[in-house]
Amino acid sequence: MYDNFLDLDIKRQDLPTVHVWPVPYQGTVSFGDGTKDGPEAIIKASYQIETHDSELMADISELCTFTTLPFQRPNVSGPGHLYTEMQEFLKNFDAARDFFLTLGGEHSISFPLVDFYARQYPDLAIIQIDAHPDLRQDFEGSPYSHACVMARINDIGLKSVPIGLRSCSRKESVFINNNPELILPVYAWDLPSPLETADKVKNFIGNRPIYISFDADGLDPSIMPGTGTPEPGGLNYSWVKDFWKALWPGPGLVGMDFCELAPQPGSQVSESTAVKCILKILTTYFSRLNK
């Protein structure tokens, strides 16, 4: 039974706790499905990934402790009801203290988490790894669709930095261009170096705390084939890991999610890549937190 992220069940009171919350919801997927299987696949793959990062010379098991929560039961009534149910669950936690690593599921699961942290940190900023801006006001009849998650986040006035964009509707492109104070887009076809991008991000968000929302399709399909809406020309692993290394020391991280993984039968590439991306973020951040 794969029920503990990284197969780590040792709890240490002297380390920060990361709550791993699996939310296998896929109620509004618009192309390929399978995101409901993403959380379980990520947890299963995590058993095969080393906790020691030889590049950073740090071990995540010595930097934080993980508590894997029960799977959130999917709500078949739609993403609006899921949002309400996730809000109710989060009332048991303190946004000033509790760090969530939420595993989707489709991208619509991100908004309840962002809203949770924004109530504690009104100046919260979002770093979004994604091929799509997800800025539609509604999609297929729902304002809470996976294609609308960043529109709902922008509704509450939060700054965002979408990185890896390469597929935008005309309306989304116009909105981005007309709101430079709210959105700093980083397009995949004109990608600066990781260091240059990190400097731009820090200049844009200042001292705001950040939440990371990582959509699997932000990565190139050559390393992340398991996603419902793959787009060629995406981010590679080396660029992503170097970006986090350049970002910290820097803004504080309050929580994160990884969404839109749709595991492929007979392959473990996508879920293994997801775990490596998650670990690189957490190990980089926590290893430099006290330096």
Task: Dump pLDDT digits (tens) for 263-285.
Answer: 999 999 999 999 999 999 999 99
Q: Name the more confident of 61 and 144.
A: 61
Assess contact for 48 and 6: CB atoms under 8 A: no
Is 218 within a domain? Answer: yes
Assess contact for 212 and 127: CB atoms under 8 A: yes
Is 183 within a domain? Answer: yes
**Confidence class for position 290, pLDDT limits 50, 70, 90:** low
Looking at residue 32, what is its pLDDT? 43
Contacts (Cβ under 8 Å, ≥6 apart) of 134: 107, 128, 146, 147, 148, 149, 150, 151, 215
What pTM was computed for the model?
0.94
**Strand, coil or helix: what is 251?**
coil
**Confidence class for position 8, pLDDT limits 50, 70, 90:** confident
Q: Report the C-alpha gap between 287 and 252 in whole angstroms.
A: 13
For residues 55-68, average pLDDT: 95
Q: Report the C-alpha gap between 3 and 265 in whole angstroms.
A: 20
**Mean pLDDT score of the chain:** 91
Is 12 within a domain? Answer: no
Q: Report the C-alpha gap between 145 and 164 in whole angstroms.
A: 20
Total tally of structural domains belonging to the chain: 1
What domain range is 241 assigned to? Answer: 25-73+98-288
Is 7 within a domain? Answer: no
Is 153 within a domain? Answer: yes
Looking at residue 228, what is its pLDDT? 85
Is 11 within a domain? Answer: no
Q: Residue 140: pLDDT above 70?
A: no
Task: Dump pLDDT digits (tens) for 174-187.
Answer: 999 999 999 999 99
Q: Which CATH number goes with the domain that contains 211? A: 3.40.800.10
For residues 58-80, average pLDDT: 83
Q: Report the C-alpha gap between 18 and 282 in whole angstroms.
A: 10
Looking at residue 77, what is its pLDDT? 57
Contacts (Cβ under 8 Å, ≥6 apart) of 288: 248, 249
Is 13 within a domain? Answer: no
The vertex-152 CA angle with 148 and 153, nearest 5°, equals 115
Looking at residue 136, what is its pLDDT? 85
Q: Report the C-alpha gap between 182 and 160 in whole angstroms.
A: 6
**Strand, coil or helix: what is 21?**
strand
Of the listed ranges 21-35, 42-56, 99-113, 208-222, the one predicted with least confidence: 21-35
Is 165 within a domain? Answer: yes
Q: Name the more confident of 18 and 146.
A: 18
Task: Dump pLDDT digits (tens) for 156-168.
Answer: 999 999 999 999 9
For residues 232-237, average pLDDT: 97
Task: Dump pLDDT digits (tens) for 20-38.
Answer: 999 998 655 444 456 889 9
